[in-house]
Amino acid sequence: MAPFAKGFAVRIAHEKCPNAVECRVCLDVCQCGVLTAYPLKGDPFNKDTLWRVNPTLLSLCTGCRACERGCPHGAVTVVE
| Interacting residues toward ligand SF4 by CB under 6 A | 10, 12, 17, 20, 23-26, 29-30, 32, 34-35, 53, 61-67, 70-73, 75-76, 78
With beta carbons less than 8 A apart as the criterion, state whether 56 and 23 touch.
Answer: no
Largest CA-CA distance found in the chain, in angstroms, rounded:
45
Q: Indicate the residue among 32 and 50 with the shorter CB distance to ligand SF4.
A: 32
Rounded to the nearest whole angstrom, what is the least distance from the CB of residue 2 to ligand SF4 in the complex? 15
Rounded to the nearest whole angstrom, what is the least distance from the CB of residue 45 to ligand SF4 in the complex? 19
CA angle 13, 30, 75 (to 5 degrees): 15
